[in-house]
Structures are given as C-alpha cells and as structure tokens.
Structure 1
Amino acid sequence: MRSLSGDLLLQRLGEQPDEKLHLRLYNAIRTSILDGSLAPSSRLPASRELARELGLSRNTALTVYEQLLAEGYVFSRQGSGTFVVETTPDSFLSTANPPIGAEGEKRNAELSERGSALLHHASASPKQWGAFIPGVPDVNAFPHPIFSKIQARISRRPTPQQLTYSNQGGSPELQQALVEYLRVARSVRCSPEQILITEGIHQAIDLVTRMLCNPGDDVWIEEPGYWGIRNILRMNDVNICPREVDEAGMVPPEHQTDAPRLIFVTPSHQYPLGPVMSLARRQHLLALARHGRSWIVEDDYDSEFRFSGQPIPALQGLEADAPVIYIGTFSKTLYPALRLGYVVLPTPLVSTLKTAHAELYRGGHLLIQTALAQFIQEGHYTAHIRRMRLLYAKRRAFLTSLIEQHLGKQALTEFNSNAGLHLILNLPNDADDVAIAAAASARGVLVRPLSRYYMLPSGRRGLLMGFACVAEEQMAVAFEVLLECLNPPQKA
C-alpha cells in the first residue's frame, strides 16, 4: 500500500513532460514542497520505500534526495530520515504572489441578493467566551467526566441503527426522555412521536419557515428580538413584521384582519428585554392563531434559569392541541457546541416536518443523542441545572450590585423578571451603544449593543451583559474596563 506522499508524487510524475526519470521525480518533489502539498517538517518516505512505491530504482531516488538536500529543500536527520525544511530557498527570492487567472486578476465572488443581505446583517460574534458575552453558559461547570463515561459505555457496542441516518426525528431514547422532562419542568403536552431533534434553534426555525411559509407571507417577530431569527426569515423571503414588546410581552394589534402565517415569541423570558408574557396576552395570541389559522413558534431558550418566584409554564401546554410549535435547545443548559435542540410538533405537522427534516438535513448524531437521553434519565441533567441555577443567581446578584454601585439602579432595565443569563445596562437615547461595544471588545470585554436587536431604527440604546460564564473576580476587573469605555477621558 502506497503512502499519501507516494500517491501524490506518482500523480505528479505523470504530469511532468517527457524528461529523464530523475528530473521528473526531482520536479515533482520540489513543486510539492513549494506549493505546500509536502508540509514543512514533514517526513519524506525512505529512499527504498519511495523507489518501491513509484516503481523506480533506489539509485534514482537517492540521486534526487541528494540534489534536494544540496539545494536546501530537505534536511537529513541521522536515524530518523529525510524531512522538508521549514523555509525553502525560494522564499528568500521573492515575496510577490503569483498572478491568478489568465489575466492575473482575482475573480470577485458573485452572491445572490439573499446572500448579500445575510452578510450585511450578520451579527454573530467571532469571540464566544469571556466577560460579558451574553447567552453563553459556564461550559467548565458541565460534568464532563460523567457524560464522557456514558458516551464511552454506549460507543463500545453501538447498534447499526445508531450509526446510520435518522429519519424518525432523532433518537427514540432522547425523544422519550424529553417527553418526561418537559411534562414536569415546562408543563408541555406531547408524545415521543411529536418530538423532532434538530441541530439547534436555527435549524428548527429554518425548517418551520421553509415548510409553512411561501415567499411574501407575513410573519410576526418581537421588537426587539433575536437577530438570528430575522436572518433566517430573510433567507426564506418572507415579510417580517416587527411587533412591539412591553411589560406583558409581544403586543398584538387589537383588531387584526389579516393574520400572519407564523408568530415568533419568547413568552417565558422575552429575549432580549426580559418581560414575561401575561396570561391575558397568551390567551389573546392563542385565540388569534386559531382564528387566523396561524402557527405560534414558541422559543423557550433559557426558561430553566429563573432565580425567584414560580416557574413559568410553556405557552404550548396552556390549551389542548394548541397551535404552537415549541422549540428548545441544550445550548444554554449544557453547552453550545453540543448543537442539539428539539421541536415539539403539533400532531398535524409531525409526519410532514419529520420527512422534510430528513430530506433537507439528514439527521444523525444518534450516539450522542442516546448518551444525552441516559444523562437525563439518570438524573444528571436536572442536578446540573439546579447547580447552575444557584451559581448563576450568585453571579447575577454580583453583577447587579456592580451596576447599582457605580451607575445607579436606573441603569438596569425596568423589565426585570429575575431570569435568564444576561442583564441589560440602560444607556441614554443619544448614546452610541454600537461604538461603546466595539471599544469594549477591543479591550477584551464582550458586550452586545441593544440597538442591534431592533429591526426599526427607533430602538432603545443599551448593552447586553452576560454573567453566566464569568467568575466574580473577573467581573469586577472587566467592569472597570467597561466603565472607562462608557466614560472615556476628555481630550484637552
């Protein structure tokens, strides 16, 4: 069996002009070194191995290696072999890039209008860890050894069904575990067949929008609301209708004649402002959706982290057969890179959306889904949430005290539901929260400007400050930096 480098050189030997064999081999190796196909410090096959792999005499291979060694492309280490040098002799001759294409010009990438719009509105941060990044849990506190043991146990004897594509909406074990957990923790009414496992919230929203909306259909979103939803809706070419949020949640119109196709809400803890949707508002939305044959998409992204008062039940369980598509994720309770979410589908949508999911995304990751199911069934999941609730409540209180001490109570938003993984720092209406966030980021402090969560230009100014992944001693230091960004020194 040939080595990878042997395969590469055999291919390049065939590309060489009809020259002497040792010249063809020399050019093949030299070109492969210069274009990076043979990486710096990589070991070349021994001359005997190379000759056997390429069907050459060993003398030919030795002659070429000696020439490359003399010219400085390789070096020899006694007893170890021949290696590519870190810096080739050619790199000292010219730093100019070779021309690209026939005219030496780079071709510009031509994007679709939707693709260009997506990039124009892109808001994902390149940094996803540190003070005060919102929405990120303390991934170091996750019980990795316990979860790893469960994974190892399952991986020792996997079944064929766990190693192929999933067209049933995910692992049956995880579907069953979620039914039991959601019934107790969130008052969600469902059967295992109604649960579809996805790779997070974004995939769930994309699937629902593709399958239930035509281009130009109206959809309601909260104003302000999660920017990721808006980007997915833009890519699906629907008409986005922002609806104001007040202390009772999304404000629907009093007299609505044309119902939207979809209504996106975060009723248990509105993102990003934080109010809880009132019972009257929930009932109003349900009645409106039934009358207009709309679907409510309920995003319950961090409902587990409520630090005082009674848990807020899900909108989905408020009525039997509610027209609600319930979406959840493990990104906040466990860790984002797990890339596991779930959708509780109304019975009329189960078959069609599961089939569509299999066609569009080819579900998989069944081993890790099965491990997560056992993690939940053995009680580790609820135990972890209890520990995190205590830890996050302590960190939230510390950040609140810092804000009140240095900036006053008025600096905190009036929508204080004592839940979630972030606080909002109010800023004056004339403040440039985007510039403040950029200045803080340049100094290693990660906050998000509240104005970016508004679709309309009249949005409030403020900063989203996450506290979940920040130890208290780090908070104090980072907050001092943020204060300097809020109050930069005046120029003389």
Structure 2
Amino acid sequence: MKIASLSDYLLLRINRPAAKAAPGKAKAGSAPESGAAKPAPRTPVNRQIYQLIREAILAHTLPAGMQLPSSRDLALELGSSRNTVTYAYEQLLAEGYLESRPGAGTFVADTAPDQIPEAVERPEPLTDPSGKSELSARGAMLTRQAGVGERQWGAFMPGVPDVTCVPYKIWGRLQNKHWRRSNADLLTYGPGAGYAGLREQIAEYLRVARSVNCTPSQVLITTGIHQSLDIVVKLLGEHGDSAWVEDPCYWGTRSVLNSLGIQSVPIAVDQEGMRMRLANLRRPPRFICTTPSHQYPLGMVMSLSRRRMLLEYAATHKVWIIEDDYDSEFRYGGRPLASLQGMDTQDRVLYMGTFSKIMFPGLRIGFLVVPESLARAFSTGIAELYRNGQVFLQATLADFMAEGHFASHIRKMRVLYAERLQLLQQSINRHFGEKMTITGGEAGLHLVLGLPQECDDVLICEQALAAGIVVRPLSRYYMHARGARRGLLLGYASVPNDEIARAFDKLAAVIKPHLA
C-alpha cells in the first residue's frame, strides 16, 4: 500500500496530546490503520517521525524515488517546529533511507538489496541439542558432545576449589597498590608472552616445586589450559594431524582438538598411565596429550618406565608431548611429583598449568612453558590470535607470589582439602562399606566412586542433579561408550566440612536403588 499524504500518515500515528495536533487533521482517538506499529507515548515526537518514516520505507509504503515535502512544509502540516522535522530528516539521510538532490528536494532512497541468485543446491541445516539450526558440522559436534555444565559450585562439583578461602584482604591490598600507581601499561593490551614479573615468578616456582627446566623467556601467560592447548595445536599442527589422548581424559582436551581438526586417538590407561600398544607405536601422532602426575580423571601416576618410553619415542619420531599439570600441588601422601618436562633432554615437551585450581577459576590465568627455540614464535602467535590482556591481574598475581602468599595459600588449602577428602571417604564407607571402589583419592580435588557396569551413571547424575547434587558420570570421559567404565566423579574441594556427610546422604539415596 502506498500513501498519498505523508502528513496524514504521520498524524494518525504520532502519540502526543490532542491539543498539539494540527487542526482539522485528526480527531482524538482516531485509530491507526490495522497492523501499523504505534510508537510508545513517551518517545519524543522527532524520534517518532524518524521511526515512522523509516518503517514506511522498509515496508515499501513510501516507495523508492518518492519526493517528501520540505521540512518547513511538513512541520507546518504537523503543527510541529521545523527543528523537530529536520532532526528526523537528517537522521534518515545519515542512515541512507533518504537522499537529498540539490535544487530538487528530498527523496526516498532505493534501499532494496541486490538480487541474490538462488543456490544450485541447498544443504540441509544442522541442528544442535537446543534445536537451533545452521550450525556447522564442527559446531554441531562440539555442542552435542559438550562436557561443561551450568552449575560450577557446590557438592560434589569436580575440579572446583573453595573460592571462599581466597585471602581477599591481601589480594585487595595488592590490587589497590597497582590502582594507585595509575600505570597505563597495566590497562592496555599486554605483551604476547604476558607480564614479565609474573613470568619470572612462575619460572621460579616451577623450577623449585615441579622440577621444570625453564627460564622466564620460555613461560607464556594464557587464560588457562584450553587456550594453551589451542595455541600449541594452531602453531605446531595441521588440520588432519592426530593426537594420542588418554582414555578416559578431560573432555576439554578432546573438544579443543576436535574443533581444530585434530583426530583424537584414544590410548587406554592402566595403573602406570598411558598403555601404548604396538599398533599405536607404528603410527606416530603429531601430539601426545597426557596428565602424567595425576591422570585425569582416574588419578594414577605415570610410571618412570612409561615416562622414559614416551620421551624416547617423541624424540625419535619428532612428536610433541603436551603435559597437562592441572592440580599436582594438592598431593596428600607426600611431596608433589616431578614433571615429565623436567626429564626431557630433547625439547619435545610443552608443559601447561593453571591457577584456576590453586586460586579461583574466575582469575582465568594459566601458563605454557615451551622450548626456548619456540618462545618468540609463540609470543607472537598469542598476541596475534588473542590480543593478550588482564595485565593488571597478572601484576597482582605476581606480587601475590613474590610476597610468599601463594605458597602459604597452597599449604593451607592442601590441609583443608585433605580433611574434606577424608570426610567424603568416611561417608562413602558408612553407606557402602567395601562394596564400592574409590580411585584417585591420593591427590587433586576429586575422587572416582566406581559403580557396577550394569549401572547407568549418566542417569544417576541426572537424578542427583534433581536432588541438588552435582556429580559427573565417568563413562562420559571415554571416547566410546563401549568399554567405558561406570562411576561418578565426586569433587570435595568446594564443599564445607559440615555439609559433606549430609550432601552424600542425598547422593547415596539416589545411588542405592540402582544397586538393587
């Protein structure tokens, strides 16, 4: 439908007191045409005129090429000031809805899009679990196999520390110190490798506590394990390469690898860690992803013979070993174990860690240690791909470590988590005695409660969540359902001591019907 008079069209739709309307043009209470959108009463008149003309152009009610009345004439017809109409015209001109022709007037611009040819073949849209379409094959796979959950706190969420124990006053004092200095370098984009002071502190800590052979120049600051793995694969791998991954393994490792076109090859684990078979050894991968100090999620430690074998194999076949040392600080049966990187003499190991488990996940600071020959390229790569930031937080963390608070916090939390582990084990024994196996209870922030193979651990987790308890099914950490062990990952770090027994009572009530 086209309109004959722009002023009549606007008068029927502009919301303002009837007394201000141009006499003879519209009666109070006149209804607009059916389907027409009426601006909100509080919208200024100049904005209403702009919106109404814009909508009319988009709906082709005002056709391309149509000449509009001058701002003076339209203002007179509407009973408004000329400035009110001029604002609307100028905004529409600026956005391309109108065009001004010197000496001729103001016209509706031709805003129709160029004709798009029909595709020869329309592929079927993909659908993700939420029902949304148009995801790529990679996007559909990533969302379908996602391991992340909405709840990230409480009984018995694995891998989450007790963030209430962070020394807030100390942290706040250190942050305020940097705010008072008004250092612009801490508020802009950071260097690719990260804040120099933090890299120095991390290098010193890793040399002493984890026997990592590195200098500050080899340490790169990332946002955590995911970004560390992402940059390693992007700079050292090609689409179609393969990576050995422990089976079971951390779901995030597989997600990052799959998203980058890397084929994950599952390698079973036993009590000595990754168990390579002859068929695997005959086809060297590009990467080997491993958690040798505390296998995730089962908790075993890789034996010395397996470590030596991996290092020799990597050196011979030019394979990159990616060592994920995510929570080795929390070992309750003795000192933390030395890293695999510390045994490497051929520069084939890339070592990564995170402060999410020691400090708090929201910090989003991790680190990656690379061979000296790769340090400059990785620094450039991180700057190019991610535009490193959070320098202010990195500087605060560096001071936190330099003043000894980091080491003190680890000692404090190690004692607390050991107490919570013991309380959880006692609750398990109280309900199940020797019927249930417990693995991974010597270190870290979680243990694995074994279930009979006939149990559906996924269903148990769903029922537990309905009861307010968060647990993860062990079977989902395996690449394939066939041969996957059944069990539950129980995190105890973020559960207050006096709540552990009561929370496990609820979980036990969910588990027991599945054992009958």
TM-score by length of 1: 0.78
Letter in 2 for 1:239: Q
SS at match of 1:487: helix
Structure 2 CA distance for partners of 1:354 and 1:485, relative to 1, 3 Å: same
SS at match of 2:452: coil
Task: Give the whole-Å Cα distance in 1 for the aligned partners of 2:247 and 2:407.
Answer: 32
How far is the alpha carbon of 1:436 from its aligned partner? 0.2
Question: Could you tell me which residue of structure 2 aligns to residue 23 of structure 1?
Answer: 14
Output aligned runs, 1:390-401, within 5 Å: 390-401=415-426
Output aligned runs, 1:140-219, within 5 Å: 140-219=164-243
RMSD: 2.4
Q: Does structure 2 retain, via aligned residues, the 8 Å contact 1:134–1:421?
A: yes
How far is the alpha carbon of 1:489 from its aligned partner? 9.3
Question: Could you tell me which residue of structure 2 aligns to residue 12 of structure 1?
Answer: none
1:302 correspondence with 2:327: yes
Structure 2 CA distance for partners of 1:249 and 1:234, relative to 1, 3 Å: same
Question: Could you tell me which residue of structure 1 aligns to residue 369 of structure 2?
Answer: 344
1:234 correspondence with 2:245: no
How far is the alpha carbon of 1:348 from its aligned partner? 2.2
1:288 correspondence with 2:309: no
Count of residues paired in the alignment: 406
Q: Does structure 1 retain, via aligned residues, the 8 Å contact 2:323–2:352?
A: yes
Question: Could you tell me which residue of structure 2 aligns to residue 464 of structure 1?
Answer: 489
- Between 1:399-408 and 1:156-165, the stretch displaced more is 156-165
Structure 2 CA distance for partners of 1:292 and 1:484, relative to 1, 3 Å: same
Question: Could you tell me which residue of structure 2 aligns to residue 407 of structure 1?
Answer: 432
Letter in 2 for 1:308: G
The match for 2:398 among 373, 393, 398 is: 373
Task: Give the whole-Å Cα distance in 2 for the aligned partners of 1:470 and 1:419.
Answer: 16
Q: Does structure 2 retain, via aligned residues, the 8 Å contact 1:258–1:292?
A: no
Gaps of 5+ in 1: 1-14, 34-55, 61-106
Q: Does structure 2 retain, via aligned residues, the 8 Å contact 1:412–1:423?
A: no
Task: Give the whole-Å Cα distance in 2 for the aligned partners of 1:210 and 1:327.
Answer: 15
Task: Give the whole-Å Cα distance in 2 for the aligned partners of 1:464 and 1:176.
Answer: 35
Output aligned runs, 1:305-454, within 5 Å: 305-413=330-438, 415-416=439-440, 418-454=442-478
- Between 1:472-481 and 1:452-461, the stretch displaced more is 472-481
Letter in 1 for 2:276: P
Letter in 2 for 1:317: G
SS at match of 1:283: helix
TM-score by length of 2: 0.75
Task: Give the whole-Å Cα distance in 1 for the aligned partners of 2:343 and 2:239.
Answer: 31
SS at match of 2:173: helix
Letter in 2 for 1:371: T
How far is the alpha carbon of 1:417 from its aligned partner? 5.8
How far is the alpha carbon of 1:29 from its aligned partner? 4.0
Question: Could you tell me which residue of structure 1 aligns to residue 62 of structure 2?
Answer: none
Task: Give the whole-Å Cα distance in 1 for the aligned partners of 2:272 and 2:8.
Answer: 77
- The structure with the largest alpha-carbon Rg is 2
Task: Give the whole-Å Cα distance in 2 for the aligned partners of 1:190 and 1:374.
Answer: 20
How far is the alpha carbon of 1:277 from its aligned partner? 0.5
The match for 1:133 among 146, 157, 166 is: 157
Question: Could you tell me which residue of structure 1 aligns to residue 134 of structure 2?
Answer: 110
SS at match of 2:314: helix
Letter in 1 for 2:239: P
Task: Give the whole-Å Cα distance in 2 for the aligned partners of 1:452 and 1:225.
Answer: 9
Q: Spell out, residue by residue over 1:223-262, the C-alpha distance to the aligned partner (whole angstroms, 9 max, x if none).
A: 0000111111111111110000110111123472321100
How far is the alpha carbon of 1:351 from its aligned partner? 1.6
How far is the alpha carbon of 1:484 from its aligned partner? 1.1
Q: Spell out, residue by residue over 1:454-490, the C-alpha distance to the aligned partner (whole angstroms, 9 max, x if none).
A: 0022110000000101112211111111111112399
Letter in 2 for 1:132: F
Task: Give the whole-Å Cα distance in 2 for the aligned partners of 1:473 and 1:388.
Answer: 16
Question: Could you tell me which residue of structure 2 aligns to residue 96 of structure 1?
Answer: none
Task: Give the whole-Å Cα distance in 1 for the aligned partners of 2:305 and 2:132.
Answer: 54
Question: Could you tell me which residue of structure 2 aligns to residue 476 of structure 1?
Answer: 501
Structure 2 CA distance for partners of 1:151 and 1:16, relative to 1, 3 Å: farther
Structure 2 CA distance for partners of 1:489 and 1:379, relative to 1, 3 Å: closer
SS at match of 1:263: strand
Question: Could you tell me which residue of structure 1 aligns to residue 107 of structure 2?
Answer: none
Letter in 2 for 1:346: P
Q: Does structure 2 retain, via aligned residues, the 8 Å contact 1:266–1:298?
A: yes
Task: Give the whole-Å Cα distance in 2 for the aligned partners of 1:396 and 1:17.
Answer: 77
Structure 2 CA distance for partners of 1:374 and 1:149, relative to 1, 3 Å: same
Letter in 1 for 2:352: I
Q: Spell out, residue by residue over 1:111-137, the C-alpha distance to the aligned partner (whole angstroms, 9 max, x if none).
A: 111000001101111001110000000
Q: Does structure 2 retain, via aligned residues, the 8 Å contact 1:327–1:344?
A: yes
SS at match of 1:381: helix
Structure 2 CA distance for partners of 1:290 and 1:444, relative to 1, 3 Å: same
Task: Give the whole-Å Cα distance in 2 for the aligned partners of 1:28 and 1:436.
Answer: 52
Letter in 1 for 2:14: L
Structure 2 CA distance for partners of 1:442 and 1:321, relative to 1, 3 Å: same
Q: Does structure 2 retain, via aligned residues, the 8 Å contact 1:132–1:470?
A: yes
SS at match of 1:188: coil
How far is the alpha carbon of 1:30 from its aligned partner? 3.1
Task: Give the whole-Å Cα distance in 2 for the aligned partners of 1:138 and 1:451.
Answer: 26
Structure 2 CA distance for partners of 1:139 and 1:23, relative to 1, 3 Å: same
How far is the alpha carbon of 1:319 from its aligned partner? 3.1
Letter in 2 for 1:19: L
Letter in 1 for 2:340: L
Task: Give the whole-Å Cα distance in 1 for the aligned partners of 2:277 and 2:155.
Answer: 39
Q: Does structure 2 retain, via aligned residues, the 8 Å contact 1:16–1:28?
A: no
Task: Give the whole-Å Cα distance in 2 for the aligned partners of 1:16 and 1:203.
Answer: 59
Structure 2 CA distance for partners of 1:170 and 1:29, relative to 1, 3 Å: same
Letter in 2 for 1:124: V
Q: Does structure 2 retain, via aligned residues, the 8 Å contact 1:147–1:371?
A: yes
Question: Could you tell me which residue of structure 2 aligns to residue 249 of structure 1?
Answer: 273
Task: Give the whole-Å Cα distance in 1 for the aligned partners of 2:245 and 2:515.
Answer: 41
Structure 2 CA distance for partners of 1:137 and 1:16, relative to 1, 3 Å: farther
Question: Could you tell me which residue of structure 2 aligns to residue 266 of structure 1?
Answer: 291
Task: Give the whole-Å Cα distance in 1 for the aligned partners of 2:172 and 2:8.
Answer: 55
Structure 2 CA distance for partners of 1:17 and 1:220, relative to 1, 3 Å: farther
Task: Give the whole-Å Cα distance in 1 for the aligned partners of 2:249 and 2:42.
Answer: 53
Q: Does structure 2 retain, via aligned residues, the 8 Å contact 1:224–1:272?
A: yes
Q: Does structure 1 retain, via aligned residues, the 8 Å contact 2:266–2:479?
A: yes
How far is the alpha carbon of 1:157 from its aligned partner? 1.6
Letter in 2 for 1:210: K
- Between 1:362-371 and 1:108-117, the stretch displaced more is 108-117
